[in-house]
């Protein structure tokens, strides 16, 4: 199952609103086939593993991170392919939260005489698809907040300088995280201060996430890098209904999509409707504070540089209202701490989307 999880991770960033899934076929103690869901609309992990195994699939055991599907969509149901291949036993990581499949895959396989065991490395398999689980159960994308700050909690000096607080190793890691996201989101103040590209540049890639700007007044300059490259990389300005219509039209003429929203929850609903499952919030402090105040953050990745900026006028990580009591504070769960170059990366969750308990198998 661990091998299946490793395979599933190869599909990160490519499955769109589908989950990352890995599958391994074992026969007589040897792996005879393996596969993963490589891209949205393409064959699922189980089908790829069966194709690799060929005739060796008959009588083999299948290890798969997620319950096999039972309905026709972009591809035929994997449960049928498993039955037709003559698989002996199926070991499943977690049950599918999709109401079309939840528990049905197990039932269909068992009715065909296949032995099914579920809950193998369930926590690890559930963590693999938390974005999908949130999306399929709430229609909202999974929100990860990325922060780069000094050790005293500053993201810029009092003059506004912020490039670069963290080292090249941390910035490379950020580009890796961008690659796995569907949309990178920043506020207009970040665009005005830094004129960012928000593309994946420091690692090899064949994809870039969409780029989104929260800009209620359509202040974004037409000369900005985001606008000037909008025909190359999808760029969306999220603005209010009171925004200047002429400026919105000008942005559209440059290839920028203009989307109107009311509040952050409405924003996430609209991103979900665009079939985007992962939101990577990169700043700045106003956006960080607004998302935290609205309790819409699912996970955080914080890069802490070993520098002290100081000063009351230096920009802190979070603006917004904040909390009046410590009892209200959201605690980071499943926290990991890692050295990245000279920096420290702290990652964890504010919310969790776990496995469905199932007594079958």
Active site residues: 46
Contact 320, 147 (CB under 8 A): no
Q: What is the three-class DSSP state of 117?
A: strand
Q: What is the three-class DSSP state of 108?
A: helix
- d(CA 79, CA 60) in angstroms, rounded, equals 15
- d(CA 172, CA 151) in angstroms, rounded, equals 20
DSSP letters for 332-347: PEEEEEEEETTEEEEE
Cα 201–chain centre separation: 19
Contact 170, 338 (CB under 8 A): no
Residue whose pair of structure tokens reads 């035929």 in the numeric block: 76
Angle 265-270-272 from CA coordinates, rounded to 5°: 95
């Amino acid at each position: 199952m661990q091998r299946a999880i490793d395979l599933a991770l190869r599909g990160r960033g490519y499955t769109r609103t589908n989950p990352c899934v890995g599958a391994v076929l074992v026969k007589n103690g040897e792996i005879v086939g393996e596969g993963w869901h490589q891209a949205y609309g393409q064959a699922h992990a189980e089908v790829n593993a069966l194709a690799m195994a060929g005739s060796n699939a008959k009588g083999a055991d299948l290890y798969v991170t997620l319950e096999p599907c039972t309905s026709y969509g972009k591809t035929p149901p994997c449960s049928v392919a498993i039955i037709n291949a003559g698989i002996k036993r199926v070991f499943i990581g977690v049950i599918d939260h999709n109401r079309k499949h939840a528990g049905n895959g197990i039932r269909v396989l068992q009715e065909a005489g296949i032995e099914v065991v579920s809950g193998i490395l369930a926590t690890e398999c559930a963590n693999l698809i938390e974005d999908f689980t949130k999306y399929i159960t709430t229609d909202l994308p999974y929100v990860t907040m990325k922060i780069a700050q000094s050790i005293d909690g500053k993201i810029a000096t009092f003059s506004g300088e912020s490039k670069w607080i963290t080292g090249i190793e941390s910035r490379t890691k950020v580009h890796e995280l961008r690659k796995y996201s569907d949309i990178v989101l920043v506020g207009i103040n970040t665009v005005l201060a830094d004129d960012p590209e928000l593309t994946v540049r420091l690692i090899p890639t064949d994809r870039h996430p969409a780029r989104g700007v929260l800009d209620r007044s359509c202040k974004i300059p037409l000369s900005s890098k985001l606008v000037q490259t909008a025909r190359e990389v999808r760029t969306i300005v999220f603005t209010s209904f009171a925004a200047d219509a002429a400026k919105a039209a000008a942005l559209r003429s440059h290839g920028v999509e203009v989307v109107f929203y009311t509040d952050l929850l409405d924003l996430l609903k609209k991103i979900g409707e665009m079939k985007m499952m992962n939101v990577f919030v990169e700043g700045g402090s106003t956006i960080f504070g607004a998302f935290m105040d609205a309790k819409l953050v699912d996970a955080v990745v914080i890069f802490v540089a070993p520098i002290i900026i100081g000063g009351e006028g230096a920009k802190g990580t979070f603006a917004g209202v904040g909390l009046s009591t410590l009892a209200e504070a959201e605690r980071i769960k499943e926290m990991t701490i890692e050295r990245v170059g000279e920096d420290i990366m702290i990652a964890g969750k504010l919310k969790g989307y776990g496995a469905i308990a199932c007594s079958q198998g």
